[in-house]
Amino acid sequence: MEFNFSEIEKKWLAAWEQNGTYQVSNQSDRPKYYVLDMFPYPSGSGLHVGHPLGYIASDIFARYKRLKGFNVLHPMGYDAFGLPAEEHAIRMGVHPAISTKENTERYREQLESIGLSFDWSREIRTSDPSYHKWTQWIFTLLFEHYYDKKADKAKPIKELVAYFEQNGNRDLDAATTYEELFSAEDWAAFSRKEKDEVLMHYRLAFRSVGTVNWCEALGTVLANDQVKNGLSERGQHPVELRPMTQWFLRITAYADRLLEGLKTIDWTESLKSIQRHWIGRSEGALVKFDLQGLEEQLPVYTTRPDTIFGVTFMVLAPEHELVDRITTPEQKEEVNQYVKYVAGRSERERNAEVKDVTGSFTGGYAIHPFTKKPIPIYISEYVLKDYGTGAIMAVPSDDERDMAFAKKFGIEIIDVIDKSDYPNATLSDKVGKVINSDFITGMEVPDAIEEIIKRVEAMGIGRRGVNYKMRDAGFSRQRYWGEPIPIVYDADGVAFSLPLSELPLELPDVPEFKPTADGQSPLGRAVDWVNLPDGRKRETDTMPGTAGSAWYFMRYTDPHNNDAFAGKEAIDYWQNVDLYVGGSEHAVAHLMYSRFWTKFLYDLGYINFDEPFKKLINQGMIQGIIEIAFLKKENGKIRFISADMVDNRKDFSEFFVPIEFVSDYGKETSYLDEEGLRKFAAWNVDFAKATFEMKDGYFKDGQFTPTKEGGQCRFVTHSEAGKMSKSRYNTINPDDIIAEYGADCFRMYEMFLGPIEQSKPWNTNGIDGISKFLRRFWALFYDADGKWLVTEDAPSPEALKVLHQTIKKVLFDMERFSFNTCVSGFMVAVNELRKLNCHSKEILEDMVRLMAPFAPFITEELWTKLGHEGSVHLSSYPDFDEKYLVKSSIDYPISINGKKRAVVPFPADASKSDIENAVRSLEIVQKWVGDKEIKRLIVVPGRMVNVVV
C-alpha cells in the first residue's frame, strides 16, 4: 500500500476534532506544562513558510510533554487589533472587524493543516469585546493604583488619598514625577481639578504631555519607524514633533524589579542583555546648582560626581523649562532660533548627529557649589529632555561629547582624572586618580564619588541617585482599531475610570476611519458616543497593540470566563508559561510590557507568579530569496537585461520578480524561460512592450528571437537572500508545500533545516530526503503490494540496540530543543532497521510513538493499523533501557602523536593495562614508533588511545 498522506491527513484532522483529542482540562492529577507561541497578527496575506517554524517546534515539544505524562496547555489565538486592518479600512472602507475575522479564519485553516495540536476551544482574539473587557479592566486597575517604593509594590490610590489627607505628601516614598511638597491642609484646600492633577503624577496609568510625530498632511500621528528624515514614509510629507496630552503607563516604577527578575528566568543571554540595556540603570548623584540672579536651583544628574571640579559649563535640553528664564535679553534671539531649529528635527535625527555638535549660549550662569565660580549655561540638542533631569554638568576633560562641545565653543578644559595607572582604561571607565580637585585630589575615583555624595548631602544640595534610560510607556494611540481607553472626563476635565460593570467599552461605529481634523482619534467622529447624556465626555484615544498581548497568556487558562480575567483556580493551576517560543523582534516591547503587567497583577494578588515566561526560545527567521530583474528606461521604453550580462548593477534599475514565474528559483542560475517571460510581461502592463535582452537572443511581444543558432531563451534573474514579504513577491505558502509533500513532511523538513534559533533562507533542496524517509518508514509496515509486514516475532538484539540508541538520542536532543538532530536520529534508525530487515511489532510500535510528535499523521495511522484503539498522541513516550546498549567490544582509535593511525576493537571490559600492552605490540604502532621510544601512552577507557613518541 502506498503512503497516501493527503487521505490520511484529512481523515485524522476530522477525527481529532471530533474526538477532542487536543482538548485539555483545568483539572488533572498530572503535572501541568504550559507551551505557548507568540500569537500572530492575522495579516491579509496569510501564513508563509517562515511563520510555522516556531509553531512546529513548540508543537513537537507540547506533544512530547503530553506523551511524557504532563497535562499540557497549548493554545493559540490572534493579536487582532492593529494598524494594517485599519489602513485597509481607510482605503477600502471595509470595517476592520470584518477583515480581521476573515483573516483569522484563514489563519486557523492553515494552522490546522499543519497538524498543530492546539486546543482550539481556547482560541482568543484580542479584539473581541469579551477579551478586551479585561484588557480595559487591567487598565482601570493601573489607573487606580500607585507604586509604593517602601513596600515595593502597587497600592490603591484610595490609600494614597487617605495618606494625603493625613500627612500631605511628606515622607512619602512613591514612584512619582511630582516635585513639590504639600501638607494635609494644602491637600484639603486643593480643588477637585488640582487634586486630579496631583494624583496623575502618582497613578500607574496617567495623563501627561508627550511629544508625538504629527503629520499635518496625513492628519495623523506616526510611529517612529514611519518617519524617515523628517518626512512620512508614506507620501513623503513633513512631520513635526508636537506636544500632545497622552496616556502613559508608569513602567519605570517597576524598573528595578524588571531588572532583578531577569536573573530568575531562562531566556537567551542576548535577549536579557537587550532588556538590561533598555532599562539602562545607572548609579550616580543628583546635584543642585545655584543660578546667578535666580531663586531657583538647577538640578543635574551625573554618574561622575568625582569630576565636579572639572565642570566648566552646563548644558540644558533646548526644551528645558528654565531656558526662558535663564536666557539674557542679548542672547534671546540666538536661543530662540536654536530652539526652533531643534524642534524641527526628529528624535532620530537628533540622535544620528554625532560629529557636528551644535548649541547656543543662554547668557545665564550657574554657581559651582565648591569653587563658587560662575559657570556658563548652554543649550544643545545632545542633552535630552526626558533623560535624567534634562540638564547636565559638563566635564569636557572626561566626556567625549562635552569635549567636542567645549572645543567648538572655546570653553576651558580642566583635567581632573589621571588614568596613567590604568593604561587600558577608556574615558568612560570609572577608574583613575583625582587631580586638580581641592579636597578630593589624590583619591581614587570610587572613593571620590562617595566623598562628593557625602558632601553634597551634608550641604543639602544633592543626594545619591539612580537613573534609568527606560521611559514611561506612551499608551495612547490616535487610532480606531484598538481597545478604547475606559476613561470619562467630567465638566472640569477630571478623569474617572469606568467600573467593571460598564466594561467592555466597545468601539463605536464611525462614519470614517480617518482621524478628526484636530488630531483626535477616529473615535472623535462618533459624537453621540463621546458625549454622554450627563455632560461627561469619553476619552477618544485607543490602546496600543502591546496592551492586548501583555496578558493574553493568562486568558487561555480560562478563556470564556465572563466574571474574571481568569478564574482563580485556573490561573493558579496553570500559572506562567513554561516554554515560550517566538521571534526576537519582540525583545523589548511585548516582553517588557508583559513582564510589567504580570508583576502588577501579582502585586494585587490576582496571580501567584511574577514572571510571565519561564523559558523562552527565539526561533530564527526563515528568509526568502528575492529574485531581481535589471532594467533600463530609455525614451520611455523599458529594456530588461539578463543578469548574466550585467557587470555593475548600479547602472540599472531593479525590479522584484514574482518567484512563481522563475525557474531554478533560489539558485544562482535562476531564470525566466519563455513561459515565465510571457507571464511576467503580462503581469505588469508597463512590461507588455518591454524588450528582454539575453545572451542567446531577445524576447519581445511574447516572442523569443534567437541571435545565435540553437540559442536558448534564458533571462537570468539575480537571486538574493532577504526577508520574505508580500511586497517582494517572494512569499512561499505552506499550503502548496503541504499539498505536494504532506504536513508530516513539511513539519519534519522545517525542523531538519537546522537549529531552531538560526535564521536561514528557505529552499526546498532537501525536502525530497524527508519525503523519501517517510516512505521508507512506511515501507517497514507495508510492502509495495500493500501487504502488512509487521510480525509478532521477538526482535533481534541488533534491532533492540538500534531502537534503544535512538530513544536515548531523541530524549537527550528533545530536552535541549535540538529538533534537527532528532530527525537525523530517526533517519539513522530507519536506515538500520531496513538493513536488518526488521518488521518486529515491538520495535516498530516504539518507533511510532517516538516519532509521533514530529509526524502526527503517519504515526497515528500506523498506530491504529498496529491495532490500538486510542490515539498515539494520548499514549506514552518510550524510554530506553541501558541493558540493550551494552557493547561487547569498543572500537578504539589509536593515535600516534595525536594523529589517528588505526582503529582497533577491544573488549568493553578490557582494563587500561590490557589495552596498553596490546597497543604496544600492535604492528601499526611499531611501524610508527620505529627506532624511537614511547614516551607516554594515554588510554581513555571507552574512548581512545594516544601514543606519544
The interface with RNA within residues 433-472 (CB under 7 A) comprises: 467, 469
Site for RNA in 30-89 (CB under 7 A): none
The answer to whether residue 354 forms part of the interface with RNA (CB under 7 A) is yes
Q: Using the rule CB under 7 A, is 578 a contact of RNA?
A: no
Question: Which position among 277, 373, 689, 726 is part of the footprint of RNA (CB under 7 A)?
Answer: 277
Q: Are strands 718-722 and 622-634 parallel, antiparallel or unpaired?
A: antiparallel
Based on CB atoms, which residue is closest to RNA, 155 or 401? 401
Query: Which positions ≥6 away from 787 have C-beta within 8 Å?
Result: none
Instruction: Please tell me the distance from the alpha carbon of residue 656 to that of residue 628, in angstroms, as a whole number.
Output: 5
The answer to whether 943 contacts RNA (rule: CB under 7 A) is yes
Interaction of residue 901 with RNA, rule CB under 7 A: yes
**DSSP SS3 for 646:** coil
Kindly state whether residue 786 participates in binding RNA, applying the rule CB under 7 A. no
Whether a cis peptide bond, with omega within 30° of 0, leads into 853 is no
Nearest distance from residue 50's CB to RNA, in Å?
Answer: 14
Please state the φ and ψ torsions of residue 943, each to the nearest 5 degrees.
Answer: -120, -70
Residue of the chain from 7, 509, 654, 891 that contacts RNA (CB under 7 A): 891
Binding residues for RNA restricted to 307-336, rule: CB under 7 A: 317
| Axis-axis angle for helices 129-143, 589-603 (nearest 10) | 70
- Nearer to RNA by Cβ, of 301 and 665: the residue is 301
- Binding segment for RNA among 233-241, 280-288, 413-421, 498-506 (CB under 7 A)? 280-288
229 binds RNA (CB under 7 A): no
Nearer to RNA, 314 or 607 (CB): 314
Binding positions for RNA, 801-830, rule CB under 7 A = 818, 820-821, 823-824, 827-828
Residues numbered 356-415 forming contacts with RNA, rule: CB under 7 A: 357-358, 381-384, 387-390, 392-393, 399, 401, 404
Give the one residue of 231, 588, 604, 934 binding RNA; rule: CB under 7 A: 588
User: Minimum distance between the CB of residue 743 and RNA, rounded to whole angstroms?
Assistant: 18
Residue 773 binds RNA, judged by CB under 7 A: yes
**Nearest C-alpha neighbor of 430 from the set 451, 448, 442:** 448
Options 217, 645, 874, 948; binder of RNA; rule CB under 7 A:
948
Cβ-based nearer residue to RNA, 383 or 803 = 383
Neighbours of 187 (CB within 10 A): 19
Q: Is 248 helix (H, G, I), strand (E, B) or coil?
A: strand
Residues contacting RNA: total by CB under 7 A: 81
- Judged by CB under 7 A, does residue 266 bind RNA? no
Q: Which residues contact 420 (CB under 8 A, 6 or more apart)?
A: none
* Site residues (CB under 7 A) for RNA, limited to 1-40: none
Is the separation of the CB atoms in 328 and 362 below 8 Å?
Answer: yes
- Residue 924: Cβ within 10 Å count: 14
Q: Output the smallest distance, CB 357 to RNA, in A.
A: 6
Side-chain-facing half-sphere of 365: CA atoms under 13 Å? 10
Which grid coordinates belong to 260? 532583578
Q: Cell triple for residue 22?
A: 487536543
Buried b (16+ CB within 10 A) or exposed e, 445-463: beebbebbbebbeeeebbe
Q: Does 944 bind RNA (CB under 7 A)?
A: yes
Q: Which is nearer to RNA, 273 or 703 (CB)?
A: 273
**930 Cβ contact list (under 8 Å, min separation 6):** none
Q: Quote the least distance from Cβ 277 to RNA, whole Å.
A: 5
Contact partners, residue 648, CB within 8 Å, separation at least 6: none
Question: Binding mask 90-119 vs RNA (x if CB under 7 A, - otherwise)?
Answer: ------------------------------
DSSP strand pairing (313-316 vs 374-379): parallel
Q: Closer to RNA at the Cβ: 236 or 758?
A: 758
| 553 CB-near residues (< 8 Å, 6+ apart) | 34, 36, 576, 577, 580, 594, 612, 613
Residue 883 or 936 having the CB closest to RNA = 936
CB of residue 428 to RNA, shortest distance in Å: 8
- DSSP lists the bridge partners of residue 232 as 227
Cβ contacts of 67 within 8 Å, gap of 6 or more: 849, 852, 853, 873, 875, 876, 877
Q: Of 10-18, 175-183, 332-340, 896-904, which part binds RNA (CB under 7 A)?
A: 896-904
Give whichever of 381 and 611 is closer to RNA, judged by the CB atom. Answer: 381
Binding status of residue 789 toward RNA by CB under 7 A: no
Distance (Å, whole) CA 332 – CA 363: 9
Buried b (16+ CB within 10 A) or exposed e, 46-61: bbbbbbbbbbbbbbbb
Q: Does 625 bind RNA (CB under 7 A)?
A: no
Q: Which residues, numbered 749-768, are part of the site for RNA (CB under 7 A)?
A: 752-755, 758-760, 765-766, 768
Q: Which of 350, 430, 464, 868 binds RNA (CB under 7 A)?
A: 350
User: Is 242 strand, coil or helix?
Assistant: strand
Minimum gap (Å) between residue 69 Cβ and RNA? 25
Least Å distance between CB 426 and RNA? 7
Determine the Cα–Cα distance for residues 833 and 146; give it in Å rounded to an integer. 66
Q: Could you say whether residue 837 binds RNA (CB under 7 A)? A: no
- Using the minimum distance from each CB to RNA, give the nearer residue, 305 or 486: 305
Nearer to RNA, 14 or 354 (CB): 354
304 lies in the binding site for RNA (CB under 7 A): yes
Site residues for RNA, 673-732, by CB under 7 A, read none
Binders of RNA among residues 127 to 156 (CB under 7 A) are: none
CA atoms 750, 752, 755, 758: torsion sign:
negative
Q: Binder to RNA among 28, 282, 707, 889 (CB under 7 A)?
A: 282
Query: Using CB under 7 A, which of 25, 351, 837, 911 touches RNA?
Result: 351
